[in-house]
Amino acid sequence: MPSLTYYVAPISNGLGDLICSLPVIQSLIKNGQETYLVLRSNEQKGLESRIEGLAGTVREADLKRLAENPQNKIINLRDHPLQTKHVWGSETFLNEFPNLYIDDIVRTIAQDFGLKGDFATLKPLVSIPDPRCLGKILFIPASRGLQKCWPISEWLALSRRLKADAMKCLVLGRPDEDPPVRELIEHGVEWLETPQLYDAVDAISAAKAVIGVDTGLTHLAVHQHIPTVALFRYNAVFTRQKRHVRSFLAPKCPFACVQKEFDTDCHKQISFDGKEDEGSAFYWSSWECQEEPHNHCMTKIKSHTVYDALFDLQHAVR
């Protein structure tokens, strides 16, 4: 009997969702299974050449046709009760699963599909380290959800402290699309252009360390085993419990923001089915912080604590 061909759709449609799903995909490849990545959005395009052994990619809209072949095994990591019955990080989720983090969630989902994944060590993507980044600290300030971003004033204060220590900082991102990236460049932080996603892989893989908000490139740095200081909103579910990572959590948002955040049933959506070009399909773009900018929860994370964590981290992982 011919072996199955696997088509794996990540837990959602963002880049970070793909990164967190990689151990499942890599485990199938390691076991000799012909494995295709299902691209759920344009945000997820560009890593395929760096996933060693990947057979290729397909669009989610192709799955209905592919499912007609009994030799094709479709794995939709989003189609699981842990996803459809819960909004991850909501009060009801935390009451039922108080110590479950994103890697644990994906591992549990995979196991219920009969799959495994090495979430403990993580297999880095293939990279050609960018010499421009050697010995540099990379800033990743932008996210699809502006409510997850750190104030520019804190980034600049951190940059000044690192510069005083003769540490060079570079900012990654798209200034034409990401206001935090554009503002940092306007304030004199050097921009490192990475036209393609695989260019960002090469840049991050060569860096001395990465400091970033909760976004795909920060999760990529974690996957590449780069010392990473990650800045999150109050929700610990999306933090990565790794020796080479230090995570900061902002205080819990006020009721108005929490109500906006969880006033949706997007968790019930198990397919995006070709809607990758619709910004509304991205959950984090669907609502905004309800507080004035000076009172955003992320303002409570201070540059001096991030600075201290960065140097503590670099000593710890030597």
Q: What is the pLDDT of residues 39-88, one digit of tens each?
A: 998 889 999 999 999 999 999 999 999 999 999 999 999 999 999 998 88
Does pTM surpass 0.85? yes
CA dist 304 to 11, 160, 184, 298, Å? 35, 11, 18, 14
Starting at the edge strand that comes first in sequence, how are the strands of the sheet with 169-171 ordered? Answer: 190-191, 169-171, 137-140, 209-213, 228-232, 245-249
Task: Please name the helix (run of DSSP H) or strand (run of DSSP E) that holds residue 25, with its range, or none.
Answer: helix 15-30
Separation CA 214–CA 101 (nearest Å)? 14
Question: What number is the average pLDDT over the span 220-238?
Answer: 94
CATH number, domain of 82, equals 3.40.50
Q: What are the φ and ψ backbone dihedral angles of 254, each rounded to 5 degrees?
A: -65, 165
Residue 280: the pLDDT is 37
Model confidence pLDDT, tens digit, residues 144-202: 877 888 999 999 999 999 999 999 999 999 999 999 999 999 999 999 999 999 999 99
- Cβ contacts of 158-165, under 8 Å, gap ≥ 24: 158/211, 158/303, 158/306, 158/307, 159/184, 159/189, 161/303, 161/304, 161/307, 162/137, 162/307
Residue 255: the pLDDT is 67
* Whether residues 232 and 91 fall in one domain: no
Give how many domains the chain has, as a whole number. 2
* Whether residues 81 and 53 fall in one domain: yes
> Is position 236 within any domain?
yes
> Is position 275 within any domain?
no
* Whether residues 143 and 218 fall in one domain: yes
Residue 144: the pLDDT is 80
* Whether residues 180 and 54 fall in one domain: no
Residue 283: the pLDDT is 60
Give the domain range for residue 216: 131-252+293-313
Model confidence pLDDT, tens digit, residues 275-313: 544 443 566 566 567 667 777 888 999 999 999 999 888
Starting at the edge strand that comes first in sequence, how are the strands of the sheet with 5-9 ordered? Answer: 56-59, 34-39, 5-9, 72-76
User: How confident is residue 207, by pLDDT bands cut at 50, 70 and 90?
Assistant: very high
> 221 versus 236: which is more confidently predicted?
221
How many CB atoms are closer than 10 A to CB 155?
A: 24
User: How confident is residue 253, by pLDDT bands cut at 50, 70 and 90?
Assistant: confident
Cβ pair 142, 180 in contact under 8 A: yes
Separation CA 146–CA 212 (nearest Å)? 13
* Whether residues 147 and 86 fall in one domain: no
Residue 237: the pLDDT is 92
Model confidence pLDDT, tens digit, residues 95-137: 899 889 999 999 999 999 999 999 999 999 999 999 999 999 9
Task: State whether residue 159 is helix, strand or coil.
Answer: helix
> Is position 28 within any domain?
yes
* Whether residues 150 and 74 fall in one domain: no
Task: Please name the helix (run of DSSP H) or strand (run of DSSP E) that holds residue 23, with its range, or none.
Answer: helix 15-30
CATH number, domain of 145, equals 3.40.50.2000
DSSP symbols for 195-259: -SHHHHHHHHHHBSEEEEESSHHHHHHHHTT--EEEEE-S-GGG----TTEEEEEPPPPPHHHHH
Residue 192: the pLDDT is 97
Q: Which of 58, 77, 112 is the last residue of a domain?
A: 112
Residue 80: the pLDDT is 95
